[in-house]
Amino acid sequence: MLVAVVGVGLVGSEFVNQLLSIPAESSPFRLISLSSSSRTVLFEPANAILSPEKWKTILSTSNEKPDYETLTRKLSGFINPATEVAIVDNTSSDEIASLYPQWLKAGINVITPNKKAYSGDLGLYEQIVRASQESGARFLNESTVGAGLPVISTLKELVATGDKVKKIEGVFSGTMSYIFNEFSTGSPDGPSFSSVVSVAREKGYTEPHPADDLNGFDVARKLTILSRAIGSSSLPSLQSFASVKTTSLIPPALEGIPTGDEFLKRLPEFDEEFDKMRKDASKEGKVLRFVGVVDVVKGEVKAGLEKYSTSHPFATSLGGSDNIIMFHTERYSPRPLIIQGAGAGAAVTAMGVLGDLLKLV
C-alpha cells in the first residue's frame, strides 16, 4: 500500500517514525509523499522513503509547495487492482478535511486523527460517507476520540453486530480529566480552580489559551463523532458540534479575553464559585467531573460538569489526563463496557492512526 502523509507536526512526526520503524522487508507500506504546511515531496513507488533518520531532511530540503490537486491526481494514478493508496491527514485543518470526499471518490483511503470532518458540518460528513460507499475506499478515524484507545472501533463493532447502544458517557478530555482529578477529590477543600488550570497549562495539558479547553468544544466534537457513528434515529440530527448542548466553564465575564495570560490573571476572581461547587459536591459524597453523554434512550447529547459518587469509576479510576468511556448497551447491561487509558499524547495518538492504517491490509 502506498502512503501519503499530510501534516508532520507532533503527531505527524511520531506517526512517520512509527510507520518507518516497521522493517522495510516486512512492511506492507511504502511512504511516497510527505507534506507540511510549506513543503511537499512526492516520489515514485520504487523510490519510497525508507529511512526514519532521513525523512525530515528530505522534506526540509524540498522546494516544492503543497498542491493537493496535483497530489490527488498523481496518487489516483497509482491505484490499480494490486495497489491501494492511503492519505494520512495529521493536521487539524478544515481545508484539508474538506478534501476527503474528493479523495474517497478517487479511490484513495483516508486515515486521520483530525476531528473537523467528522464533527463539523453534517453535509460534509454525509458527502464523506457517500463517497466511501460509492468508491469502496475507506475512511478510518479511531484517533479522533480517545487518541489510541479503541473507542471508535469498539462502537462500530457493537453497532455492526446488532447490539443496541443505550448510552455512552465518559471523561473525553484529557485536559478536563487532569483539572478535575486535581481539583475535586471528594474533600471539601483543595487547591484553587485557577491554580490547577495554571499548572495544567504549564504541564502542557491545556491549549495556550485555556479557554479553548474550558469551553467544552473538544468534548462536543467527540460526542458528535460518536453520535453519528451510532446512527440512531432516536438521537438529534447534529448539524455540527455546535448543536451539542454544552455547558462552558468559562465565566461569562471572561468570554472573549484575547490571550491566555490575561485569562489566567483574571480567573482567580471566580475561585469562590468553583470552590462552592466542590464543597456542595463533597457534602453529597461526590466529586465533580466534566463529562460527555450520548443518551440514545432520552435522545440527548450533552457535555458539562456533573457530580459522581466517590465510589464511581469516574472518581476512583482516573489519574493524570486519562480518558474513561462507558458503553451501556443491551448486551453490556447492567454493568457497562469500560475503556480507559491515556487519551492524549503524540505517541498514543500516532499509534491509533497507524492501527487504522494496518486495518487496510
Annotated binding site for L-homoserine: 207
Whose cell is 475507506? That residue is: 138
Q: Which of 150, 155, 175 is nearest to 167 (CA)?
A: 155
What residues are designated binding site for NADPH? 91, 115
What residues are designated binding site? 7-12, 91, 115, 207
Q: Which of 116, 166, 222, 307 is catalytic?
A: 222
Does the annotation mark 156 as catalytic?
Answer: no
Query: Residue by residue, what is the 3-state secondary structure of the chain?
Result: CEEEEECCCHHHHHHHHHHHCCCCCCCCCEEEEEECCCCEEECCHHHCECCCCCHHHHHHCCCCCCCHHHHHHHHHHHCECCECEEEEECCCCHHHHCCHHHHHHCCCEEECCCCHHHHCCHHHHHHHHHHHHHHCCCEECHHHCCCCCCHHHHHHHHHHCCCCEEEEEEECCHHHHHHHHHHCCCCCCCCCHHHHHHHHHHCCCCCCCCHHHHCCHHHHHHHHHHHHHHCCCCCCCCCCHHHCEECCCCCHHHCCCCCHHHHHHHHHHHHHHHHHHHHHHHHCCEEEEEEEEEECCCCEEEEEEEEEECCCHHHHCCCCCEEEEEEEECCCCCCCEEEEEECCCHHHHHHHHHHHHHCCC
CB neighbours of 261 closer than 8 A, spacing ≥ 6?
A: none
User: Could you give the C-alpha distances from 100 to 66, 115, 157, 308, in angstroms and in order?
Assistant: 16, 12, 23, 40
Q: Could you give the CA distance from residue 322 to residue 175 in angstroms, rounded to a whole number? A: 9
CB neighbours of 164 closer than 8 A, spacing ≥ 6?
A: 296, 329, 330
Side chain identity at 128, as an amino acid letter? Answer: I
What are the residue numbers of the active site? Answer: 222
